[in-house]
Chains A and B, each alone.
Chain A
Amino acid sequence: MVAPLLEVKHLRVEFPTRRGTLLALDDINFEIAPGEILGVVGESGAGKSLTGAAIIGLLEPPGRIASGEILLGGRRIDNLPYEEMRKIRGRQIGAIFQDPLTSLNPLYTIGRQLTETILTHLPVSAEEARQRAIRLLQETGIPAAEQRIDQYPHQFSGGMRQRVVIALALAAEPKLIVADEPTTALDVSIQAQIISLLKRLCKDHGAAVMLVTHDMGVIAETCDRVAVLYAGRVAEIGPVGDVIHRPSHPYTSGLMGSIPAMDEDRERLLQIDGSMPRLNNIPRGCAFNPRCPQVMARCREERPELQDAGATRAACWLVNDGARPI
């Protein structure tokens, strides 16, 4: 077992408001090995983007890390001063966001944005930085990179912009990339191009990826392991094949059943009634208990912790000591 690149331990994120403190992330635990792709999946409000933001140190105030630790290569990064964290961001953790238009500065050429990142983090000359930037653009499949490097973001299409953002994230050779819904704003045909590009480049550069998305199809194609989030907690985590084909948590099976499949016909989709609880109204016990088809008395009182369930780990009372009753 290699030492994990990223460790998230008992992470708890709070939002203090006038009407009391909202608990957005509660006791999140996971690890990412070097070069591994971990998918983080969940519905809106489950806390998946927040987990990414906490790791790159970009939580929007008043959100704050209340307790827990985030370790990158064994070093704690969640309590670093702002200037220290700036050096890590970009150099050791790259970020890709959902909307490629808002993550590029419209007033600078993409060449300037790329070389700025490279010069900030790496000891190279301006000329070398430019050559490196052109090479990165070529790697991400941008045609005529030598000319296009001097263009502005608005001169690129959505898919091309997202390629530039990927180049930007990889510019300083980080070991970890946090990709928050990198393909959600793109059309399906472009989405497939970007996903295979991201996968290939991260493999070439040896970067691990935390891929945040709500699209199970993207997860299935891309990831090694996946964490399913529900109401700010990890409901299930494990190898992607096991989570998709043999889920242990009723929420995961419900989520899988509600996705229309391409290879089978069903008259009705499996449906999870109700919707995810609001943060100010998370039920006692297991947060999923009001929607769970297999709810027991215990689920309404006690909160289950993650425990081994065959190949995966699930936070559910149905899973007991490795036996899988569902």
Chain B
Amino acid sequence: MTALVEVRDLAKTFDVSAPWLNRVIERKPKLFVHAVDGVSFSIDKGTTLALVGESGCGKSTVARLLVGLYAPTRGDVQFDGQATHAGRNAAELRTLRRRMQMIFQDPYASLNPRWKVLDIIGEPLREHGLVPGAEALRARVSELLLQVGLAAADCDKFPHQFSGGQRQRISIARALATQPEFLVCDEPTSALDVSVQAQVLNIMKDLQRTQGLTYLFISHNLAVVRHVADRVGVMYLGRLVEVAPKAELFSRPRHPYTRMLLDAIPDIHMTGRSRTPVQGEVPNPLNPPSGCAFHPRCPHANARCSSERPVLTRFQGTEVACHAVQEGRI
């Protein structure tokens, strides 16, 4: 299998300094948040990579970097062998971007309330000049609506006439309009109820099977990730701490943070699995801990962990960034 998307040492820094005058008068320094700090991974064609982590770990920033909504501070993204950021002119970028689309978390905020569904789904088609006329546009939009389980007659409705789950289907239809190969889904079901979430997840899986789509699926819900993903990457404070095939990650998690996340999931089947609620909270990303960012919460941390930052290295078929795992301490 070939990698469709390849990300190398991707980083994004946001300037969160006080305004210039405050810095001068109050002698405040410039402040930067390293939202994503050197992330590398690749996604094979037709598979799903899921990124999980808690709020503020940088998973949504990765999504936005990939589709080009942010420009990276460092590193690059290769899509089908071509760089998506460095040294590209506008026309080339347009052709590349037709092939990747994004689905956002909140179906209430991502659809223009003043536009009809026809215009919403038709926008990417018109923008990329993919259909010849109004007739063809309507036909294509109807076809897309049917694909996601809505009716062709829904073309002339406004977003407020739909429920949350139906709106998310409209977002999916819009993302599919340009016949992309790669979809970036940023928490596509977290705003939905469970029964509706099941409908949307089923549609996404069906589409992947029939159209050979590649997904980057971002979520904080490990049960959902386990259902959709082929491989899973776990992020903590802007870095990947573990990347592993799904079965491996859920049956034998290596990194202490992954273990902690898995332990924290409420067990619906009450198998009596013992749980150890983890102590502590995610540190302030403005001032991350030295060495391994997880060491203040880690039960296996030692002196090396607090001084030297572990790098993501291959370990028995998975990739882990942990001194304790590599030294064989756990």
- A and B part of one assembly: yes
> Which positions in A face B, CB cutoff 8 Å?
43-44, 157, 159-160, 187-193, 195-196, 214-218, 220-222, 240-241, 244-245, 254-263, 266-273, 275-276
Interface flag for B268 (CB, 8 Å): yes
Question: Once the chains are docked, how many angstroms separate the CA of A43 from the CA of B165?
Answer: 12
B54 (CB) vs chain A CBs: closest residue:
A187
Complex contacts, A256 vs chain B, CB 8 Å:
268
A254 touches B266 (CB 8 A): no
Question: A240: nearest residue on chain B (CB-CB)?
Answer: B270
B268, A220: Cβ atoms closer than 8 Å:
yes
In the assembled complex, the CB of B267 is this many whole angstroms from the nearest CB of chain A, namely 6
Q: A188-B265, A269-B202 are in contact. Are A220 and B227 (CB under 8 A)?
A: no
Q: What are 14 pairs between A and B in contact, CB < 8 Å?
A: A188-B54, A188-B220, A192-B275, A195-B266, A241-B270, A244-B268, A255-B195, A262-B267, A262-B269, A267-B205, A269-B198, A272-B195, A275-B163, A275-B195
Contact of A216 among B227, B260, B268 (CB under 8 A): B268
Contacts of A244 in B (CB 8 A): 268-270
* Complex Cα spacing A44 to B190, Å: 13
**Interface bits B218-247 vs A (CB < 8 Å: 1, else 0):** 001111101100000000000000000000
CA distance A267 to B199 in the complex (A): 13
| Nearest A residue (CB) for B263 | A192
Q: Is B198's CB under 8 angstroms from A214's CB?
A: no
CA separation between A276 and B193, bound complex, in Å?
10
Q: How far is the CA of A293 from the CA of B95 in the complex (A)?
A: 45
List of B residues within 8 angstroms of A218 by Cβ: 266
Instruction: Indicate if the CB atoms of A261 and B278 lie closer than 8 Å.
Output: no
In the complex, what distance in Å separates the CA atom of A167 from the CA atom of B213? 49
* A216: B residues at CB distance < 8 A: 194, 268
The smallest beta-carbon distance between B263 and chain A, in angstroms, is 7
**Complex-state Cα separation, A72 to B322, whole angstroms:** 54
Measured between alpha carbons, how far is A254 from B197 in the docked complex, in Å?
12
Interface residues of B in 166-205 (CB under 8 A from A): 166, 193-199, 201-202, 205
Contact B54 A192 (CB under 8 A): no
> Shortest Cβ distance from A141 into chain B, in angstroms?
9
The answer on a CB contact under 8 Å between B268 and A217 is yes
Q: Which of A187, A191, A256 has the most CB of B within 10 A?
A: A187
Query: How many residue pairs between the two chains, A and B, have CB atoms under 8 Å in the bound complex?
Result: 125
Contact of A221 among B164, B198, B270, B278 (CB under 8 A): B270
The chain A residue with its CB closest to the CB of B149 is A273
Q: How far is B54's CA from A43's CA once the two chains are assembled, in angstroms?
A: 24
Q: Are A260 and B226 in contact (CB under 8 A)?
A: yes
Could you tell me if B281 and A192 are in contact, using CB atoms closer than 8 angstroms?
Answer: no
Q: List residues 254-288 of chain B with CB under 8 A from any CB of chain A.
A: 260-261, 263-271, 275, 277-279, 281-282
Decide yes or no whether B250 CB sits under 8 A from chain A: yes
The listed residue (A193, A258, A266) touching B195 by CB distance below 8 A is A258
Check if A220 sits within 8 Å of B193, measured CB to CB: no
Residues of B near A271 (CB, < 8 A) are 195, 198-199, 202
State how many angstroms separate the Cβ of B229 from the closest Cβ of chain A: 11
Contact present for A192 and B199 (CB under 8 Å): no
B54: chain A residues at CB < 8 Å are 187-189
Closest to B225 in A: A260
Report the bound CA distance from A221 to B264 in whole Å.
11
Would you call B268 and A188 a contact (CB within 8 A)?
no
Q: Is the pair A262, B277 in contact by a Cβ cutoff of 8 Å?
A: no
Q: Measured between alpha carbons, how far is A240 from B282 in the docked complex, in Å?
A: 32
Q: Which residue of B lies closest to A185 (CB)?
A: B55
In the assembled complex, how far is the CB of residue B47 from the closest CB belonging to chain A, in whole angstroms?
15
**Quick check: B196 and A275 within 8 Å, CB to CB?**
yes
Kindly list 19 other residue pairs between chains A and B, CB separation below 8 angstroms, not including A192-B277, A196-B277, A220-B267. A43-B193, A159-B281, A188-B261, A188-B264, A189-B260, A189-B264, A192-B264, A217-B265, A241-B270, A258-B198, A262-B222, A262-B267, A263-B271, A266-B227, A271-B198, A272-B199, A275-B163, A275-B166, A276-B193
